Amino acid sequence: MAPRSLDQIAPSDVASIKTSSNFRINNFDGIRLFAATQVMVFHCLSHFEIPVPFYLQPLSWFSGVPIFFVISGFLISASFERRKNLKNYFTNRALRIFPGLWLCLFSTLIVFIIFKIHVPLFSGSVWLFTQIFGAVYTPSFLSQFGMGSYNGSLWTIPLELQFYVTIPFLYTLFITNKRNTLALTLVFFVFFCATIAINGFLPDMGGSKERFAVKLLRYTFVPKYFLFLFYQNNSNYYFYNSFLVNSSYRTINLHFAITTTSN
């Protein structure tokens, strides 16, 4: 059966589908497992300075982090569409992020105590306060800790929080009243071009000689937002199984092409 456009489904039926348990039956868990495995394997190889075996090289074509950003576009949008109100949406998003973040931060402090890591009073207090609210960064006094970051995987938290905030504006401007497909496509194209420009003109981003202004840009949603917007440019068709796998991996290939040709 050919996929149906959302315009061909009654609003009440769409709402029923999106709030039903069937909405949660999809391939996201499999994609998440693949992405997490890719990140874990390549981080371990990199940190231990182990050459990538030839049989694992194909995994490098599918970077796990962009996969997670694509998935975020689907799941965060779905959460917003199922909300009772705006307060309910932000409450659910906060519960999704902050308890785990605080547990991670508490565990980090325990490690600091065990290994007697010196934390300056002022800069340490500023760092701790910002971490509590999700403004994750590694201060200079921790630059020699571990692999150079107290928990490098947390760098995506600020981006996710920015994604959460942009969704209500995105729906208000382009989606809630009447889906403006052309406008959404243009927004996607603008951020896609921004990613190409950033990778082309700021080759030091993420490197050891990264400038402070470039680092701030890296911690904004701009360089990765086209991945997040992918859902909005493909949600005219409401089928969540094989389509999710195929479309997500097409986007990952697109991201790989950008980062490869720009470096």
DSSP string covering 186-251, please?
HHHHHHHHHHHHHHHH-TTTTSTT--HHHHHHHTSSGGGHHHHTTTTTTTTB---SHHHHHHHHHH
- Which residue from 74, 80, 43, 48 is spatially nearest to 243, judged by alpha carbons? 74
Whole-prediction pTM value?
0.77
Q: What is the structure's pLDDT at 83?
A: 85
Q: d(Cα 105, Cα 243) in Å, to the nearest integer?
A: 37
Q: What is the structure's pLDDT at 251?
A: 53
Taking only the tens place, the pLDDT of each residue in 91-121 is 999 999 999 999 999 999 999 999 888 899 9
N- to C-terminal Cα distance for the chain? 43
Taking only the tens place, the pLDDT of each residue in 12-53 is 444 454 555 555 666 788 888 899 899 989 988 988 889 999
Q: d(Cα 14, Cα 238) in Å, to the nearest integer?
A: 9
Domains in the chain: boundaries? 6-88+156-262
